[in-house]
Amino acid sequence: MGKIVVGFLLGVTISACVASTFPYKFYALEADSYNGALKGPTTADDTVLSMCRPTDQDKAPCLVMFTSAFMRLKESYQKCQIDLKSAQENSE
């Protein structure tokens, strides 16, 4: 009986982490010029902006988010990871 309850709780936790809609706004990057660079967390992570130029196969190769939306997404992801780990530990 205990395994059924733990399995149910794990299922509830997982389903809570998987939203039916993506609640964060993001935008396709469109530029007049694709010269320059996208700055990463370090200079080693920088990449050329030309990677964002639309192609026939990919109309929006780069998506952007405002920092506030990204931080909410990051916090949600971290909370989900903590909840999943807690549920797994409780099932043991």
pLDDT, tens digit only, all 92 positions of the chain: 444 444 444 444 555 666 667 888 999 999 999 999 999 989 999 999 999 999 999 999 999 999 999 999 999 889 989 988 888 887 76
pLDDT at 84: 87
DSSP string, 66-91: -HHHHHHHHHHHHHHHHHHHHHHHHT
pLDDT of residue 92: 66
Torsion of CA 8, 21, 49, 30, to 10 degrees: 180
Q: Which two tokens stand for residue 82?
A: 């903590």
For 57, the 3-state DSSP assignment is: coil
Summarize pLDDT for 31-45 with one digit per residue, the tens: 999 999 999 989 999
